[in-house]
Amino acid sequence: EVQLVESGGASVQRGGSLRLSCAASGFTFNTYRMSWVRQAPGKGLEWVSSISSSSATIYYRDSVKGRFTSSRDNDKNSLYLEMSSLRDDDTAVYYCARVPLNYVGSESYYLMDFWGPGTLVTVSP
Amino acid sequence: DIQMTQSPSSLSASIGDRVTITCRASQIIGRSLNWYQHKAGKAPKVLIYGGSTLQSGVPLRFSGSGSGTDFTLTISDLQPEDFATYYCQQTYSPSSITFGQGTRLQIK
């Protein structure tokens, strides 16, 4: 059974730092792209970052570039999100998600097929 | 970034109804469009990928259509467990994935 479990969420002061972790099990972790997605209170889903299976390619949304760093340890089946210079608008539940590339005929599509339950990050003044 | 616009933002319907949610992309995205269901306090769940392919295990009452810039999610014969918030997502640009703002489906 595929399982993703985030941890590391906490209440932190504005300008502070935090490291989130996502423990994966039930699948061959080192063959999948992974992503972080967040949801601020009362808001919708917002993609944060994606990292390829080998860590060769890492993408970030503009608002976190230079402040957040995604990484993974394939030996430990774990995904990480290092967050620094935290701002009030970083307050959110952070989810990790598995990102397979599925084929329909000759076309391929990324999707997020398994998600963790999320971990809450609260940035206070 | 590719902007995704969903409509309506909220919707009230009854058990057994058929509802349709639309999603428009700000530029052509082929069929790189996914639909998710999200219930409060739970992990989002993928329903449809590639615009119209039903994810394994998802009931047949869910269907998706569209390509280019305009997409729809249709739920036939609404069931109590379908009341949730629905999001479209484009992965045409994997370096800048974007979601629609969400459609909240409520019981009438």
DSSP A112: -
Question: Are residues B99 and A44, on separate chains, in Cβ contact within 8 Å?
Answer: yes
Strands A78-83 and A92-99: unpaired
How far apart CA A3 and CA B55 sit, in angstroms, is 18
Q: Is A72 exposed, middle or buried (0-12, 13-18, 19+ CB in 10 A)?
A: buried
B73 falls in which pLDDT band (50, 70, 90)?
Answer: very high
The token pair at A28 is 């061959």
What's the pLDDT at A61? 98
- The residue of chain A with its CA nearest to that of B44 is A115
The C-alpha angle with vertex A36 and arms to B67 and A15, in degrees rounded to 5, equals 130
Mean of per-residue pLDDT scores for chain A: 97
* Nearest residue to B24 via CA among B63, B58, B72: B72
Residue of B38, B49, B96 with shortest CB distance to A111: B49
pLDDT tens sequence across B88-103 = 999 999 999 999 999 9
Min CA distance, B59 vs chain A (Å)?
16
How far apart CA A7 and CA A25 sit, in angstroms, is 14
How far apart CA A21 and CA B95 sit, in angstroms, is 22
pLDDT tens sequence across B41-70 = 999 999 999 999 999 999 999 999 999 999
What's the pLDDT at A125? 87
pLDDT above 90 coverage of chain B, percent: 98
Yes or no: say if A100 and A114 are a contact pair by the CB < 8 Å rule.
no
